[in-house]
Amino acid sequence: MIECSINNLSKFYGANKIFQNISFDLKTGERVGLIGQNGCGKTTLLQMMMGLEDCQAGSIAMRKDAKVGYLNQMPVFDAHATTMDVIELAFADVFKLRHAMELLAESFNRLQGEALSQAMQSYGQLTEQFETLGGYDIETQISKITEGLQITDVLQSMLFEQLSGGEKTRVILAKILLEQPDILLLDEPSNHLDLAAIAWLEAFLRDYKGAVLVVSHDRYFLDSVVNRIVELEFSRAVPYPGNYSYYVVEKERRFLVEYKIYQNQQKKIDNMERQIARYRIWGVMRDSEKMFRRAKELEKRLEKIEVLARPVFEKRKVRLDAQASSRTGKIVLETEGLAKRFGEQILLQDVTLSIYYQDSVCIVGSNGSGKTTLVKMILGELEPDAGSIKIGSRVKIGYLPQNVVYADEELTVLTYFSQTHDLTLGEARSQLAKALFLQDDVNKKIKSLSGGEKSRLKLCSLTLDQVNCLILDEPTNHLDIDSREVLEETLLKFEGTLLFVSHDRYFIDKVADKVMAIEANGVKVYAGNYSDYREAEQKLKAKLSDAAPSIAPKEQLAQSPRRPQTPQPKRSNLAKKLERLEAEIEAYEREIKNIDAEMVKYARDATRLQELFLAKEAWEIKLVTGLEQWEKCQAEGTRVN
């Protein structure tokens, strides 16, 4: 069923064209990733679907009575509303029913006869409606969502207005997910989530029954969640029936086909033009009207040909050249027993690590675990409460913060860059062009730049500083996919040392060779990239689970003397069933992992890749079913015990 149909949509701001002739449908159960370069109108399109922006041409048709939820819309709430008050607005209608039921229940003692009978009949009807709307499961639903999005009890009790921007976004996301709209519009939903919360959201969206349209630059997220990609360009929306990895392969295949068709047409046009020229020469030489007629006929045929535009595979990209100025000593950075607390809260404790020349280390951890605090202590912006930090010899650090701020944002881009690096205006223009600051862009004031443009300007500046140690705090946050890929290529060529904080798993996989995880019991360093870190973490959890001491039945009974006696065979059967399900789940996970490896192997074979996608989807369905059965068995085992 089509939930939303977008037909020939066009949008202009004054004389500036944002996009035109945009058409695509959104169907029930589809999870569509909307991608495109920064500035191509992705957020504008979502706002138009919500009726917050008008359009100059075209139409948007929503299914009648379809309920729409939009993440990026920040409503205004009562100044005294707590976080939980905002979350519970998702069940406003259900709470009204419950209140009406409570009033009726209170009236039973006062009423008699026919009035009591009618009140009880009304109460029965309301109870049925309450149950149909899931009223008895509200607390369970809220608990599931708040736990997944890490909205703690402390956050739940705070006033909504006191929350940070990221925390507000998580709360609004929780409210929208609880409302379960038919159409879910998400604009960069993973931006304010840590790795654990992103993984939870991915699993939630994969099982979502409604239609999802998500704008995201997180390629790992797109691979995990969406089953269709729509690439938004300035004059069309191009659909791809698969996830992001499929889109990459399929886009190249389509380009090669289009380019071949274009070449063949150009060859045909060239041949026709040469033949027309020959007919005219022969007509003059032989004074032949027949030759001129043939030339005329051929010209008419040529005029009717619709000339294809030359296909362009890659648009202009940022070109950065980060070269280290000189090599450092073997040890670039050492910390020993580092600790930091804020009031009563211990944020970091006993952080001891060594970073060596040409290491590429990614710091990961949950929100609030102290990643940015650690970076600031290394940079000398914060003093540690205990421990020491030692910077190696000949180390020159360049730093890119999460939110780039300039000392004088009234300066133009060109003035700032030429003054900072002592360049002529021509030299400054040449360097800025590599970061796609072209023509009049260089005359913009820094204060008018977007977050992504400020990051690009800072990165361009760092490449001229000739640093040999780069420290980056969420470097991909404001970058589109093309810019992220350029940054990856730049950092892979960088000859110095890298230390960065990131939630972009695709970026970590490409760039990191070590992962430093800030965990509750300290800091651990894992060799390899994000995938290697996750694999090592899962192996460690499995090992700890296997090593957990089991209590003998007699000891169990001694510890729980009041527990009713339960026949042992039932527990035994449950245990066997759990073991069988766990073995099946492991087998499914192995199959999915093998398919992932095959997908890497056949990354450029679109046909084989599509087959693998379908196979992976089938195994994932089996895995989800197996996990559901395992959870039921666990719950049954808990009741038995």
pLDDT (tens digit per residue) in 96-137: 888 888 888 788 778 788 888 888 888 888 888 888 888 888
User: Helix (H, G, I), strand (E, B), or coil: what is residue 556?
Assistant: helix
Looking at per-residue confidence, does 258 or 612 come out higher? 258
Q: Which residue, of 486, 514, 535, is where some domain finishes?
A: 535
Are residues 143 and 254 part of one domain?
Answer: no
Please report, for the domain that includes residue 453, its CATH number: 3.40.50.300
- pLDDT classification of 243: cutoffs 50, 70, 90: very high
Q: How many CB atoms lie within 10 A of CB 154?
A: 8
- The pTM of the full predicted model, rounded to 2 decimals, is 0.71
Short-list 4, 23, 42, 22, CA closest to 481? 42
Are residues 571 and 519 part of one domain?
Answer: no
Are residues 253 and 230 part of one domain?
Answer: no
With respect to residue 2, please indicate whether it lies within any of the assigned structural domains.
Answer: no
Distance CA 448, CA 436 (A): 16
From 14-23, 111-120, 490-499, 601-610, the region with the lowest mean pLDDT: 601-610
- pLDDT tens, position by position, 282-335: 888 877 888 888 889 888 998 888 888 887 765 555 555 665 567 788 999 999
Q: Which residue, of 243, 271, 288, is where some domain finishes?
A: 243
What is the dihedral angle through the alpha carbons of 80, 82, 88, 90, rounded to the nearest 10 degrees?
70
- Mean pLDDT for the chain overall: 83
- 183, pLDDT greater than 90: yes
Distance CA 63, CA 66 (A): 5
Tell me if 159 sits within 8 A of 85, measured CB to CB.
no
Looking at per-residue confidence, does 438 or 414 come out higher? 414
Tell me if 615 sits within 8 A of 595, measured CB to CB.
yes
Are residues 288 and 368 part of one domain?
Answer: no
Sheet holding 497-501, edge to edge: 397-400, 469-473, 497-501, 360-365, 514-519, 522-527
User: pLDDT over 90 for what percent of the chain?
Assistant: 29
Are residues 261 and 232 part of one domain?
Answer: no
- pLDDT tens, position by position, 61-70: 999 989 999 9
- 466, pLDDT greater than 90: no
Short-list 520, 495, 609, 591, CA closest to 223? 609
- Kindly report the backbone phi and psi dihedral angles of residue 11, in degrees, each rounded to the nearest multiple of 5, phi listed first: -140, 130
With respect to residue 201, please indicate whether it lies within any of the assigned structural domains.
Answer: yes
- pLDDT tens, position by position, 524-551: 899 999 999 988 888 887 877 666 554 4
Are residues 470 and 351 part of one domain?
Answer: yes
With respect to residue 52, please indicate whether it lies within any of the assigned structural domains.
Answer: no
Please report, for the domain that includes residue 627, its CATH number: 1.10.287
- pLDDT tens, position by position, 1-56: 899 999 999 988 877 788 889 999 999 999 999 998 877 889 899 999 998 888 88
Are residues 138 and 189 part of one domain?
Answer: yes
User: Domain span at residue 87?
Assistant: 69-243
- 558, pLDDT greater than 50: no
The pLDDT of 171-183, averaged and rounded, is 92
Give every CB contact of residue 448 below 8 A, 6+ residues apart in sequence.
Answer: none
With respect to residue 188, please indicate whether it lies within any of the assigned structural domains.
Answer: yes
The pLDDT of 164-168, averaged and rounded, is 80
Question: CA separation (Å) from 146 to 73, 142, 187, 309, 370?
Answer: 19, 6, 20, 51, 22
- Kindly report the backbone phi and psi dihedral angles of residue 462, in degrees, each rounded to the nearest multiple of 5, phi listed first: -65, -35
- pLDDT classification of 568: cutoffs 50, 70, 90: very low
Are residues 279 and 135 part of one domain?
Answer: no
Specify which of 279-283, 356-360, 485-489 reaches the highest per-range mean pLDDT.
356-360
- pLDDT tens, position by position, 372-426: 899 999 999 999 999 999 999 889 999 988 888 898 889 999 999 899 888 898 8
The pLDDT of 611-634, averaged and rounded, is 75
Are residues 177 and 256 part of one domain?
Answer: no
Are residues 473 and 375 part of one domain?
Answer: yes
With respect to residue 61, please indicate whether it lies within any of the assigned structural domains.
Answer: no
Instruction: Enter the DSSP assignment of 227.
Output: S
- 144, pLDDT greater than 50: yes
- 557, pLDDT greater than 80: no
User: pLDDT over 70 for what percent of the chain?
Assistant: 89
Count the domains in the chain.
4
- pLDDT classification of 610: cutoffs 50, 70, 90: low
With respect to residue 313, please indicate whether it lies within any of the assigned structural domains.
Answer: no
- 565, pLDDT greater than 50: no
Q: Which amino acid appears at position 413 of this protein? A: V
Q: Which residue, of 226, 243, 260, is where some domain finishes?
A: 243
With respect to residue 557, please indicate whether it lies within any of the assigned structural domains.
Answer: no
Q: What is the pLDDT of residue 317?
A: 54
- Kindly report the backbone phi and psi dihedral angles of residue 338, in degrees, each rounded to the nearest multiple of 5, phi listed first: -70, 135
Are residues 260 and 155 part of one domain?
Answer: no
User: Helix (H, G, I), strand (E, B), or coil: what is residue 68?
Assistant: strand
With respect to residue 549, please indicate whether it lies within any of the assigned structural domains.
Answer: no
Question: CA separation (Å) from 428 to 325, 448, 459, 460?
Answer: 20, 19, 14, 11
- pLDDT tens, position by position, 337-379: 998 988 878 888 888 889 999 999 999 988 878 888 999 999 9
Q: What is the pLDDT of residue 283?
A: 82
Q: What is the pLDDT of residue 106?
A: 81
Are residues 402 and 488 part of one domain?
Answer: yes
From 103-117, 482-496, 626-640, the region with the lowest mean pLDDT: 626-640
